[in-house]
Amino acid sequence: MSIIDSIKSSIFVPIHPAGTPFVILFCLITLIFGWIWYPLFFIGLVLTIWCIYFFRNPNRVIPDSGKDSFLVLAPADGKIVEISKTVPDDEIGLPKNNYIKIGIFMNVFNVHVNRSPMSGKITNKNYIPGLFFNATLDKASKENERMSLVMDFDKNKKIAFVQIAGLVARRIITEVEIGSELKMGEVFGLIRFGSRVDVYYPEEAVTKVLKGQTAIAGETVIAELKKTKIIKKSKK
């Protein structure tokens, strides 16, 4: 890739469709500002550029799982603020088994488009109304507004990922329904203006990240899980 192509790919990044109305609104406000007082035009222009930046949806290089294992990818850009072993609450929709939970916090400067951590079928979707605590806090997973999704993969094994509204974010967008098929790294929604996404995966998986690490949605491998092997019985 040439230097010019690299610059173009960094600047001319597509935005998520949910951001289009906001970009148009900011453009109109910028024009009004400029009509009222010329210096205000530049303030509006900066805000418009920030709006475009916030709703950006950059292309990602999705890794391959391989023949013997499944990869669990980060569903969001941001800082990993929690890694713990837990039995998920009933509202999540997972079996009452031990799961590893990873929480990723997105600040207002992170990409807010969410991507599927694995390939599979959505078998449960549950919206839970709630509060708007700071999403970096552990209690945000239980008390904030959130949308949980359960995905089946590899002969009915299950994972879950939960979009959680934060202190500023009050608009969760989920673009899938029960029965939807998702590919690993595929966009399934976003959360506006600062938020968090939690992932629950089977405890036998090997966690590949550390608390405090920065994750990239659709690229960072957060865990690896061995595939179920079918043992064929020999005929006597």
Which active-site residues does the annotation give? 195
What backbone torsions phi and psi does residue 70 show, to the nearest 5 degrees? -105, 145
Contacts of 113 (CB under 8 A, 6+ apart): 16, 56, 57, 187, 189, 190, 217
Contact in structure between 215 and 80 (CB atoms under 8 Å): yes
Contact in structure between 103 and 198 (CB atoms under 8 Å): yes
Contact in structure between 230 and 157 (CB atoms under 8 Å): no
What backbone torsions phi and psi does residue 222 show, to the nearest 5 degrees? -95, -20
